[in-house]
Structure 1
Amino acid sequence: MSSAGACGPAPGPNHGGSVPAPGGSNPRKFSEKIALHTQRQAEETAAFQEVMMDLSSTRLTKITRISRNLDRRKTFKVFDLHDGSY
């Protein structure tokens, strides 16, 4: 039977000491990853906002067009129902 405990193998010569393990957390690499993540998130947020602005613009245009059409219909109905005497 090996000396591995319930939580995994015992630390090797490069683990647990003052020398970082190969492939371990490097603070510089960690900060670079954070910067890349932040940049990617900002780009995704900008793309999302652009889509939402396009959607809002499209909805506003459609609502304006519908409103104008309804106003025209009301105007024509008023003239159609009016007997012509003012």
Structure 2
Amino acid sequence: MSAYQREEQNNTRLEELASKISSLRSVTNDIHAQASDYSLIDSTTDTVGNMMTSVRGSASKLGRSLKAGHPIWRTVGIALAIILLLWFLFKFF
């Protein structure tokens, strides 16, 4: 094999290697860009935080209402019991 052919082979392999390195660099840059984009995570965290605050407030209001002994809860409970009783009766008989 002549020196010219070995040089051509080396050049071909060098071009292949350069192409692979370029592809790897592109993939690495894409991964970095995706990993650096925290906006979706931040917005999800904010949404969940706001939802938890809202749930805590609602639970607190419900607890105060139940402790106050409003008659509406007794009425709602009786109505639900009657509905469940009728549902069981029609379902099984």
TM-score norm. by structure 1 comes to 0.57
Structure 1 residue 56, shift from structure 2 partner: 2.1
Q: Which residue of 2 aligns with 1:58?
A: 43
Structure 1: how far apart are the matches of 2:67 and 2:52? Answer: 23
Aligned ranges for residues 1-86 of structure 1 at < 5 Å?
A: 18=5, 26-51=12-37, 53-83=38-68
Q: Which residue of 2 aligns with 1:7?
A: none
Give the % identical residues.
6
Task: Please tell me the residue identity of whatever aligns with 1:45.
Answer: I
Cα displacement string for residues 42-66 of structure 1 (whole angstroms, at most 9, x for unaligned residues): 0011112233x33222212211110
Structure 2: how far apart are the matches of 1:60 and 1:54? Answer: 10
Structure 1 residue 72, shift from structure 2 partner: 0.7
Structure 1 residue 70, shift from structure 2 partner: 0.8
TM-score norm. by structure 2 comes to 0.53
Structure 2 unaligned spans of 5+: 70-93
Normalized per residue, which structure has more helix? 2
Q: Which residue of 2 aligns with 1:14?
A: none
Structure 1 unaligned spans of 5+: 1-17
- Aligned length in residues: 63
Task: Please tell me the residue identity of whatever aligns with 1:76.
Answer: K
